[in-house]
């Protein structure tokens, strides 16, 4: 099918069953929850659904034999119903052997897209060569989605549990190899068990997505768990209420059901600053983000930036450009007033948190992510041993409401074990 539509454009990478787990933004908690702010970006192509049970039906639907990659593309696009991004650059598909899949190569993906488009099954918006920072995009036609729904009887395809759930990236975010040790083998075993259990759990109201932990440079930096695709973590697209007001992310998540039961989301309160206070054996303020004279949301973003930035100047500049400035009615983004406000709230936070001020502007946030990733995995492991699948959102967890009390107890016990201090847990809904 000719490209009759303007390419909607897509930033970011698409490593099939690998880079769909990529961290967004600058991989730091200071991004005001960067994954949640990318709702206007196209979903990276992720070939993570099992197409084999319906492979022959797909042949009949298309009217010809399909390659495995073509079948996987059809399932991915029809399951999401969204525009997806993918690369036509051969170098994009170069990666260490541990991350490769038989479905994902330049020849198989680019060729499959072209053939499916020629069949009139998908829209394929090719990005011109030499255009930096943008990828080609694709989407299933409404006719294909309608036929696919008949073939599958509306049932979602099962996930292909990733062979390698432990991902290492270098400074340029390229996938790199690493040597296995006792810790990586333990992490891999736990994540594979979790992903298998997730696959057998009925999740409605959102896409499922297998979890991988993504590290940056070494196993002391990064390491949070990221779910594939438009899962409960990302919830792509923006939702508004009947009055046109944005619906907060936690309220959108509240519509999710696990095995038919409504969910609760339990959150570690002020996790990263509390981890630093625990390191020093000092009790933190009751609310680390409460700063007189400034909106709490602004103070929260400011403190998280202070833990991730490498300099005070960089922190001020980053905070002044955050949309939280306008959302809290503080100042116009990037204005002189925004810079003044950023300076002011950073100064007050330095005074309020003087005991841990030695960690500010050191980039320690990436190390804290490694610890909160370990905490999250321990919580998931313990809940799974109790027969309960939770949905991690970094430092919070969604769980069937009947199991919320058990989750809260386990979260506090794990924090005590991992950092020597019980970190309070609160319910978002």
The answer to whether 269 and 261 are in contact (CB under 8 A) is no
Q: Reply yes or no on whether the pLDDT at 32 is more than 60.
A: no
Q: Domain residues of the chain, as ranges?
A: 19-227, 289-352
CA separation for the pair 55, 392 (Å, rounded): 32
Residues in the chain, total:
429
Asked whether the beta carbons of 51 and 231 are under 8 A apart, the reply is no
User: Is 17's pLDDT higher than 50?
Assistant: no
In this prediction, residues 357-382 reach a mean pLDDT of: 98
Average pLDDT, integer, range 281-306: 97
At 78-110, the pLDDT tens digits run: 998 989 999 999 988 999 999 999 999 999 999
Mean per-residue pLDDT, 163-191 = 96
3-state helix, strand, coil in the chain (%, to 5): 45, 15, 40
Provide the mean pLDDT of the chain. 88
Least confidently predicted of 207-221, 228-242, 276-290, 411-425: 228-242
- Number of C-beta neighbours around residue 107 at 10 A: 10
Tell me: the pLDDT tens digits for 213-250? 999 999 999 999 999 876 898 775 556 656 667 666 66
């Amino acid at each position: 099918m000719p490209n009759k539509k303007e390419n909607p454009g897509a930033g970011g990478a698409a490593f099939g069953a690998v880079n769909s787990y990529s961290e967004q933004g600058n991989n730091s908690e200071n991004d005001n929850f960067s994954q949640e702010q990318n709702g206007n970006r196209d979903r990276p192509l992720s070939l993570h659904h099992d197409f084999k049970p319906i492979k022959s039906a797909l042949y009949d639907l298309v009217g010809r034999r399909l390659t495995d990659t073509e079948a996987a593309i059809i399932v991915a696009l029809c399951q999401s119903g969204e525009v997806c991004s993918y690369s036509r650059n051969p170098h994009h598909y170069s990666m260490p052997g541990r991350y490769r899949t038989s479905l994902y190569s330049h020849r198989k993906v680019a060729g499959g897209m072209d053939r499916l488009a020629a069949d009139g099954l998908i829209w394929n918006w090719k990005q011109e060569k030499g255009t930096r920072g943008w990828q080609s995009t694709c989407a299933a036609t409404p006719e294909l989605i309608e036929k696919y729904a008949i073939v599958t009887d509306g049932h979602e395809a099962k996930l292909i549990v990733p062979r390698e759930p432990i991902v290492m990236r270098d400074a340029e975010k390229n996938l790199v190899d690493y040597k296995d040790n006792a810790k990586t083998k333990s992490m891999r075993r736990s994540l594979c068990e979790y992903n298998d259990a997730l696959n057998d759990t009925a999740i409605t109201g959102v896409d499922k997505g297998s979890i991988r932990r993504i590290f940056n440079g070494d196993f002391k930096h990064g390491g949070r768990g990221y779910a594939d695709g438009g899962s409960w973590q990302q919830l792509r697209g923006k939702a508004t209420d009947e009055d046109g007001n944005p619906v907060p992310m936690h309220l959108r998540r509240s519509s999710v059901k696990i095995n038919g039961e409504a969910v609760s989301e339990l959150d570690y309160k002020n996790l990263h600053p509390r981890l630093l206070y625990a390191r020093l054996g000092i009790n933190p303020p009751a609310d680390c983000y409460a700063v007189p004279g400034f909106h709490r949301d602004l103070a929260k973003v400011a403190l998280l930036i202070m833990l991730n930035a490498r300099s005070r100047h960089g922190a001020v500049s980053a905070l002044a450009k955050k949309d939280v400035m306008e959302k809290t009615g503080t100042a116009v983004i990037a204005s002189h007033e925004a810079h003044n406000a950023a300076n002011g709230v950073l100064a007050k936070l330095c005074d309020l948190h003087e005991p841990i001020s030695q960690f500010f502007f050191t980039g320690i946030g990436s190390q804290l992510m490694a610890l909160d990733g370990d905490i999250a995995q321990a919580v998931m492991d313990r809940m799974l041993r109790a027969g309960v699948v939770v949905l991690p959102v970094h430092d919070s967890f969604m769980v069937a409401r009947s199991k919320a009390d058990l989750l809260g107890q386990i979260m506090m016990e794990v924090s005590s074990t991992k950092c020597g201090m019980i970190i309070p847990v609160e319910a978002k809904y």
